Chain A
Amino acid sequence: MQAFLNTVLVGLVTGSVYALASTGIVLTYKTSGILNFGYGALALFTTFVYWSLTITFHWPVWLAAALVVLIVAPAIGFLLDGTLFRKIQGQPIVIGVIATVGLTVLIQGIVILIWGGQTRGDVPSLFPRAPIRLPGGLHIGVDQAALFGLAVVLALGLSAMFRYARIGVAFRAVVDNRPVAGLMAINTRYVSGLAWAIATAFAAVTGILLTPRLLLDPVLLTPFIIAQVLGAAIVGYLRSLPLAWAGGLFLGVSQALLLKYAGSGSGIGDLRSAMPFLMITVLVLLAPKTLRVAGLGSSFIVKTREVTGHASPQTRAVIGAAFFGLLALGPAIARGSISWRLSLTVGMAYAIVFLSLVILTGYSGQVSLGHTAFMGIAAFTTGHLVADQHLNVWLALVFGALAAVPAGALIGIIAVRVHGLFLALMTLAFAFMAQDMFFKQPSVSGSNGGIPVPRPPGTASTNAFFYLVLAVLLVCCLIAINLRTGPTGRVLAALRDSEMASRSLGINVVKYKVVIFSISALIAGLGGVLASMVTEQATSLSFIPFLSLAYLTVTVVGGVFHVGGALAAGMLWGLYPKLFGHIDIMIRLENIFFGLGATLALARNPEGLFGEFRWIGAQLRSLRDREPRRVAAPLPVAGGQE
């Protein structure tokens, strides 16, 4: 009993930090409608600043913490609000997802650039760790008690501010109705900037309080914080501070109990890490309809710059043939370098994955942050079919990719009920649960963290495998083009633009959502298997859920609306390390490059890199036709004319 109570107590302490952390994300979601996936990355960055100040420059901990929480973090929040968040406010929800995901990638890149990739275990605690004995034989560290106290004080302070202070009233007014609040002489810019400043300060507090007991890891901390924060905040459906608090405490206690009594390796996978995602899954599925369909009817990405006209079908066919012809010559051109040929192969395999996102997001306006799950299911299935069933590798490849289809169909069915932001959360939860409960299991990924995925017979050589991937990529591209130009593609575009009108025409929404997620999962699965075959193994680290976010980001940089965008993204992804491999700084800038690319792309040109090609094409056409420029000026307002 005593052990039980002590576990609950420890859980409450951790939970109070989660609760505190969720405050920041709920605050900005309420004031701006943007769910900040960059929250974990902001915590990471500010904690590293704190680490530098205390460890490198030997500042006293309290001074360092005060500087970071009261000055550095709010300044970052204010800056981000002005440069990014305010620009994407009121846009379709998915824009916010991609922009803040891009921000995560960007900040992680900056952190690794400045502080390197090492894990730091020496983050100084604000409080001593000496144990306190409590009545009833319970005990708790001073730092834990202080942490709990601090979390409670901050929470009470924030709610008091909301309730009584003038600025709190202004906040609530902006939350209720921004334009009217503006008319009431409330400076909405100031209020929204302040919300982001406070939220970033909370992110900093979270990092500084959590990392002395955890580790400061530039890669793992971000997803960890995001997971806990979303798990807590979902309890109030991202809108209620008290409920998010309850969620944080519940999460902390349940995880502590699971750690103590269920342990890991109990056959149900790592339930403790999966806990926040179980909460998201259950609560989103049970959510009231008004929340589930939020974002319904708003078409996916509003273009800010429209390139008029298309290249003629002939021109496009010629460009496509030239691209694939050049690719086919790749092995001959790079005869001397195996690594170049491998990089090209990797690029093509990922182009297939990105193509699955083009079909899903660009064509159909659906969003998935869980494509690593499809890739992993396919790759591990293929590996096991070969290793355990001694199946022919060709057949295993096909069955592996097909194994991702039921998972895709399941998400498709969920997508009928759940839209926009909550669908994005569900798919992310799905990827995390697949990772924690299956991919990490020794029975799935082998006892030493990886299983072999051999290349099909006859394609063992680098060149033969290169041409296999090229052929699959070509077929997938043709299918994607057929899909877009045919009746099914029109239905998908119709669903993207207006689900209500589609239903009024007799379109079966359930069927098409299942179809599109299944096709996308199948193609992602193919890409996943082929990508694993490059290194000839699939490991539990190959399909880290956060990579899903990176894939979506890179696809947006390449151009999420077109097949050519997926090809561009694949080439970027595969060749970046080769192109800039000899320049150390550029390797370290990779994340920054993609993160910045995605956020800029959304702010300026949602069609990405491929959009730039189209723009150049339009320029050439107008030169040829000797007409004035036919490129429309940027529209000042999102949404076009009404």
Chain B
Amino acid sequence: MSELRAESVTVRFGGLTALSDVSIDVPSGGFVGLIGPNGAGKTTLFNVISGFILPWRGRITFDGQDVTRASASKRAAMRIGRTFQKLELFGRMTVLENMLVAAEAGAKRLGLMTDLLHLPGRHRAERRSAGIAEQVIADLNLGWARDRRTADLPVGSARIVELGRALCTNPALLLLDEPSSGLDSGETEGFGALLRRINEERGVGILLVEHDMDLVMDVCKKIHVLDFGRVIATGTTKEIAANAAVRAAYLGEEADEAPASPARR
């Protein structure tokens, strides 16, 4: 069981309250959407869950354990994976190397001496992580880009590489921060199918922040709506689509905002 719960999370930056008493949950293996206008606090909530920001109040539990004060790397070791809204690939490394780092980070520690002196243990460890990395590369159809530097990839492929890198750590829960931004509509559709496959085949729970409403409505089973740092609605896709408050806060503006909203680089 690897259920995520955020309970009454409040975050303040100076005088600004970015999140106010926010509670959400992602069931084990669930597929949950998190939507809301720009500045609603979605990325802040992600950073609280993955350990990059300490909340002012509230707590985060994962797998039944309180992880509110655990470091980001500790949480990653507990199998919470994430991607970033602003791509954070290791730009000067190849796609394969990006995957390898992740696979090795999730593996048992290799002794430093074994590594530096090239003792036999290093070879075994490398073969194991190479297996994981190559498998993910094959799964995501990234074979063509395997030996390219990630800084040279188009945004669409880079998003998939970032997703694959997170998969290499064998996460139980994936936090995806606007994975479709920078993708064209065809790519987005393919991306949605990919996410569903990851959710269903690997049993990975997914919390998805997304601006593309078609994608969210298509793949998510449950949705939380944030506005001005508060949860204004929670429900199934149908309930959210019908919710008046959501329409007013978000969907209603979507049509007007659409051309300007690509807060996409």
Contact = CB atoms under 8 A, between A and B. Distances in A.
A482 B81 contact: no
A493 B97 contact: yes
Nearest to A504: B82
Q: Interface residue tally of chain A, by bracket?
A: 20 to 34
Interface residues of B, number: 44
A490 B101 CA distance: 6
Contacts of A496: 92
B173 interface: no
Nearest to B100: A490
A486 B122 contact: yes
Contact of A482 (B101, B116, B151): B116
Given A486-B118, A488-B115, A500-B88, A493 B76 contact: no
Contacts of A479: 116-117
A503 interface: yes
A491 B116 CA distance: 13
Nearest to B77: A506
A501 to B, nearest CB: 4
A482 B105 contact: no
Contacts of A488: 110, 112, 115-116
Given A482-B116, A490-B101, A299 B84 contact: no
A506 B170 CA distance: 11
B228 interface: no
Contact of B81 (A493, A497, A504, A508): A504
Nearest to B82: A504
Nearest to A639: B151
A396 interface: no
Contacts of A519: 116
Interface in B52-107: 52, 71-74, 76-77, 81-82, 84, 87-93, 97-98, 100-102, 104-106
A491 B89 contact: no
A589 interface: no
A300 to B, nearest CB: 9
A540 to B, nearest CB: 33
A501 B151 CA distance: 15
B169 interface: yes
Contacts of A508: 73
Interface in B106-132: 106, 110, 112, 115-118, 122, 125-126, 129
Nearest to A480: B116
A503 B122 CA distance: 23
Contacts of B93: 490, 493-494, 497
Given A494-B93, A503-B72, A483 B102 contact: no
Contact of A497 (B52, B72, B91, B122): B91
B152 interface: yes
Interface of B: 50-52, 71-74, 76-77, 81-82, 84, 87-93, 97-98, 100-102, 104-106, 110, 112, 115-118, 122, 125-126, 129, 151-152, 155, 165-166, 169, 265
20 contacts: A482-B115, A482-B116, A482-B118, A486-B118, A487-B115, A490-B93, A493-B93, A493-B97, A494-B93, A494-B101, A497-B91, A497-B93, A503-B72, A504-B166, A505-B105, A505-B106, A505-B169, A506-B76, A640-B151, A642-B87
What are the 6 tightest A-B residue pairs by CB atom distance, in nearest-first order? A506-B76, A497-B90, A501-B88, A503-B72, A505-B105, A640-B151
Given A487-B104, A505-B106, 13 more contacts: A299-B91, A479-B116, A482-B115, A486-B118, A487-B100, A487-B115, A496-B92, A503-B72, A506-B106, A507-B73, A640-B151, A640-B152, A641-B151
